[in-house]
Amino acid sequence: MTTLTDAWHWLTDGAHWSGADGIWHRLVEHLVLTVVCLILSCLIALPVALVLGHLGKGGALAVNISNIGRAVPTFAVLVLLLLTPLGQYAEGPTVVALVLFAVPPLLTNAYVGMRGVDPDVVRAARGMGMTGSQMLWRVEVPLALPMILNGVRIAAVQLVATATIAALAGGGGLGRIITAGFNLASTPQVVAGAVLVAAFALLVEGLFELGERLAPGHLRDRSTP
Amino acid sequence: MTAPPDDCLARNAWICGKYLSTRRGILTDAVLQHLELTGLSVLIALVVAVPLAVLARRLRAAAGPVLALTTVLYTIPSLAMFSLLLPLYGLSASLVVAGLVLYSLTLLVRNILAGLRAVPEETRQAARGMGYGPLRLLLTVELPLALPSAMAGLRIATVSAVSLVTIGAIVGHGGLGNLIYTGMNTYFKAQVLTASVLCVVIAVAADLLLLGVQRLLTPWQRA
């Protein structure tokens, strides 16, 4: 129990919140990394998934990419990128690794969502004389939106986790508090950092959960129990 | 002064045959530790997950909390999870195993529960009509029918565990992750690449092995 009270004292010490190594700075770093990389990954993954889903091609790739992403250790990719010329740029390896690990869930969910649209509805749209792009934007995307948003949620949680591991390879973010704690052999700091990271991750998950509850019925993901 | 040998180790090349031949012992030890940590944690998780899933299936009131708890556990990033366990286990291999058990548990409980829920009510009624008691129903009808879903969960859990073991390097028990960690600090490219590739190879091999086991256990699916 003493460790927990020590961690609490560490957290409530005002000196640990300010400065370049302070909690606020690390929190903002973590948030910016997550948001920027989420936008980047969406810009990369969603157009590909929508086009592949619309054409009904490349399904094996879109589905298997998630399995491949799971088998490759995040930490290994971070270190490999760090040792390439990319490592010269401060947050370069982190950003690339974050995007690499956020793309698979986005791609797979959006593709599965697109293919899950009732073919009769698509046929009806074609019968009404809709062009390919009209069918995509007015029929398929709206109907696939719950699954697409589910992918965004999974990607966001994944990004928070990956950004934490980035600290092991010298990246910024809340994980730095943990790694600095390990270097100082300060268990209270390690635990305090872990609590912050866990709270941040749960907050992100909670916000998506809340957004899903508040969203109009047709946006909700019906596949989750 | 003798000139340094001009080989791939001295040039710090990414791919280096000499690294493989001179560091064979280190690599074997790391692979064995990696396999041990993964295998142990997935096995413990499996032993805990089956009763939890059965409980959540039988008691409707238990399903909600069990699923909510597993979601919360799965959301916590791995580095934070290991760090939260530090006061309990210290810098030990048990810490890595405990963290991995929690993650694998989440995936297994969800998948086993989904498998149990997918058993058709008619099948259960037919078994009951043939005089099956609750235990026999569970062991000979429900669990076998939940196997495909459970095995899918086991495969995902195992592959994830292989990849997450590397994070254990932060406490010095990360199997191949240790080699990646020291390789990072000493800028040793061949070591980082070799250890990373071995991680992926272990993950793929474990996945294929479990796929084979699944085929053997569920012969009725091979129609």
Domains and CATH numbers, chain B: 18-217 (1.10.3720.10)
The one-character DSSP state at B2 is: P
Q: What are phi and psi of B192, to 5 degrees?
A: -65, -45
- The yes-or-no verdict on residue B2 having pLDDT over 70 is no
- Cβ-based neighbour number of residue B206 at 10 Å: 21
Task: Using the Cα atoms of residue A88, residue A90, residue A94 and residue A100 in order, give the sign of their dihedral.
Answer: negative
**What is residue B4's predicted lDDT score, i.e. its pLDDT?**
62
B93-117 and B24-58 are packed helices; what angle lies between their axes, rounded to 10 degrees?
40
CB within 8 Å of chain B, chain A residues 130-169: 157, 160-161, 164-165, 167-169
Choose the closest CB to A182 out of B170, B180, B195.
B170
- The yes-or-no verdict on residue B34 having pLDDT over 90 is yes
**What is residue A225's predicted lDDT score, i.e. its pLDDT?**
39
- The yes-or-no verdict on residue B14 having pLDDT over 80 is yes
Are B83 and A3 within 8 A, CB to CB? no
**What is residue A220's predicted lDDT score, i.e. its pLDDT?**
63
- Residue by residue, pLDDT tens for chain A (225 residues) are 677 888 888 888 878 887 777 888 889 989 999 999 999 999 999 999 999 988 888 878 877 888 788 888 888 998 998 888 877 777 888 899 899 999 999 999 999 999 888 989 989 999 999 998 899 999 999 999 989 998 999 999 889 988 898 888 888 788 899 998 888 888 888 999 999 999 999 999 999 889 888 877 666 655 443
ipTM: 0.85
Choose the closest CB to B77 out of A77, A190, A201.
A201
CB within 8 Å of chain A, chain B residues 54-113: 71-72, 75-81, 83-84, 86-87
Residue A201 at interface with chain B, using a CB cutoff of 8 Å: yes
- A20 exposure class (CB count in 10 Å sphere: 0-12, 13-18, 19+): exposed
Domain locations along chain A: 2-219
Compute the nearest-CA separation of A222 from chain B (Å). Answer: 15
Choose the closest CB to A80 out of B84, B156, B196.
B196
Q: What are phi and psi of B12, to 5 degrees?
A: 55, 50
- Cβ-based neighbour number of residue A39 at 10 Å: 11
- Cβ-based neighbour number of residue B21 at 10 Å: 8
**What is residue A10's predicted lDDT score, i.e. its pLDDT?**
83
Residue A187 at interface with chain B, using a CB cutoff of 8 Å: yes
B72:A4 CB<8 A:
no
Amino acid at B112: I
**What is residue B22's predicted lDDT score, i.e. its pLDDT?**
83
- The yes-or-no verdict on residue B28 having pLDDT over 60 is yes
Chosen for mutation from B69, B76, B96, B181 (greatest number of chain A CBs closer than 10 Å) is B76
Q: Which residue of B has its CA nearest to A77?
A: B196
**What is residue A155's predicted lDDT score, i.e. its pLDDT?**
92
The two tokens of residue B215 are 């085929």
According to CATH, what is the number of the domain A2-219?
A: 1.10.3720.10
